[in-house]
């Protein structure tokens, strides 16, 4: 399983007399209309192996009810727009090692996808950037993400509280923090069900 990006294509036709200008115009047009390809840092499988070495990982599709979406939104302090949640439950020796969620969201004008791992005790195990479409300057350093490890869904899981802001990458930091809150809230709601593994 991998994350793929799509490229837009433009075509241009012209008479032979203007062929040279046509090639230049076509090249400029392609540069203007083609979206920037996402920089895929890890495939889904690679991210899961990194998070859960020597584990069996099972993919589950969960549909949240309206009431569950409202409850998750209230817990997170951020709206949840999708009812479908895909989660990956890792098991080793018949015991759960953790659950991973992949979230794709807008940073500034382009998307990023991050994996948020929730440990069995409900704390964040790790956050990994899987793909990032914005310029690399907007991507915080690896060490910045480690401050999420062990965090719970509380008032400290906010920028300028328990989470340090990043100069030059404020939008990415804000998007990551919001995603961490949403994932923990959704995880709590799903874990409250009696029928979930």
pLDDT truncated to tens, each residue of the chain (197 aa)?
A: 434 333 333 333 344 444 444 433 333 333 333 344 558 899 999 999 999 999 999 999 999 999 999 999 999 998 777 899 999 999 999 999 999 999 999 999 999 999 999 999 999 999 999 999 999 989 999 899 999 999 999 999 999 999 999 888 999 999 999 999 999 999 999 999 877 65
Range of the domain at 95: 39-191
Does any domain span residue 134? yes
Compute CA distances 84 → 47, 54, 105, whole Å. Answer: 21, 28, 15
Does any domain span residue 125? yes
Question: Which pLDDT belongs to residue 170?
Answer: 92
Question: Which pLDDT belongs to residue 196?
Answer: 64
Rounded to the nearest 5°, which phi and psi values hold at 53? -65, 140
pTM: 0.79
Does any domain span residue 139? yes
Number of domains the chain is built from: 1
Does any domain span residue 127? yes
Does any domain span residue 94? yes
Residues whose CB is less than 8 angstroms from the CB of residue 64 and which lie 6 or more positions away in sequence, other chains included: 72, 80, 83, 84, 85, 186, 189, 190
Does any domain span residue 4? no
What is the CB-side half-sphere exposure of residue 64 using CA atoms within 13 A?
Answer: 24
Does any domain span residue 157? yes
Does any domain span residue 21? no
């Amino acid at each position: 399983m991998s994350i793929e990006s799509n490229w837009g294509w433009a075509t241009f036709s012209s008479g032979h007399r203007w062929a040279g200008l046509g090639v230049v115009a076509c090249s400029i047009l392609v540069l203007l209309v083609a979206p920037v390809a996402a920089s895929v840092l890890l495939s889904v499988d690679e991210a899961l192996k990194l998070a859960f070495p020597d584990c069996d990982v099972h993919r589950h599709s969960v549909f949240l009810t309206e009431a569950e979406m409202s409850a998750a939104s209230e817990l997170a302090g951020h709206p949840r727009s999708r009812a479908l949640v895909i989660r990956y439950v890792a098991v080793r020796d018949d015991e759960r090692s953790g659950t991973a969620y992949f979230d794709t969201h807008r940073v500034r004008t382009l998307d990023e996808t991050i994996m948020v791992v929730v440990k069995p005790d409900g704390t964040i195990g790790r956050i990994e950037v899987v793909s990032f479409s914005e310029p690399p300057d907007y991507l915080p350093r690896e060490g910045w993400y480690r401050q999420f490890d062990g965090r719970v869904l509380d008032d400290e899981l906010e920028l300028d509280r328990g989470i340090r802001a990043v100069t030059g990458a404020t939008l990415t930091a804000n998007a990551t923090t919001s995603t961490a809150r949403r994932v923990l809230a959704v995880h709590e709601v799903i874990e409250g069900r009696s029928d979930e593994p």
